[in-house]
Amino acid sequence: MPAKKQTKQESTKVPKAEKEANVEEQVNDASKTKKSVRKAGRTLLVKSASGNAINSSVFEGLEGLKSKSETKSSSSYFLTFDTVSNAVNAYRKLRAESSDYRVKYSYYRIFFTMNGLTESSDYNQVKQSLVDWVGKNTGASVLYCKLYRQETKYLGCGDFTIDTLDGMNTLLSKEGGLKEFTVGSLSGTFYRYNGKKDKSEDKQESTSA
């Protein structure tokens, strides 16, 4: 029986603890306030709303902090934690310490091709198999994932979002990486997602310290 038509982006199933960790971010505009919900991940982007440089000493003592890297062009820091729970605690702590800190979860989006899909392929089963494979081989969490379709026909590609830069680099590396992948009877290639809406301040450029 043909799979149901996909009408919107489907998110991956996550443990209850991580669902509860999802935090509502409020974005203040000069004329209005907009609210958006972002899934919690292990990497935070911290920037000063006033444009002032942030002293990295404020990050000392954050539980589970594995690495930090500075993007000097935008006076911002990327903080990567060992667990989503510790990232959520740091998110709340930093926002509570200063109203000048803009803190949000940083995402890394991957485009992929996939060979071997047929009309009888189960959408959710294929997606979950890919999500499990990525998590097992990179240690990163897949926050969103979708396969592209036109009506009930698979287009042989899709994209997903993970929560660490290391995970993305592992998937994209040609030498010793996982750029060419095989999941069961399916195979494909990972590519950096080329999104025109990407903002430069959201890109992690420097080497983790």
Check pLDDT > 80 for residue 4.
no
Q: Which two tokens stand for residue 189?
A: 């290639």
Q: Which two tokens stand for residue 209?
A: 């310290």
Lowest mean pLDDT among 7-16, 60-69, 87-96, 99-108: 7-16
Average pLDDT over residues 65-92: 93
- Which overall architecture, per CATH, does domain 108-192 show? 2-Layer Sandwich (3.30)
Enumerate the domain spans of the chain: 16-106, 108-192
- Using a 10 angstrom Cβ sphere, with 0-12 exposed, 13-18 middle and 19 or more buried, the burial of residue 95 is middle
pTM: 0.74
Query: If you classify domain 16-106 with CATH, what class do you get?
Result: alpha beta
Q: Please tell me the predicted confidence (pLDDT) of residue 116.
A: 96
Cβ atoms of 190 and 149 within 8 Å: the answer is: no
Give residue-wise pLDDT tens across range 8-29: 444 444 444 344 444 434 333 3
Give residue-wise pLDDT tens across range 119-152: 999 999 999 999 999 999 999 999 999 999 998 8
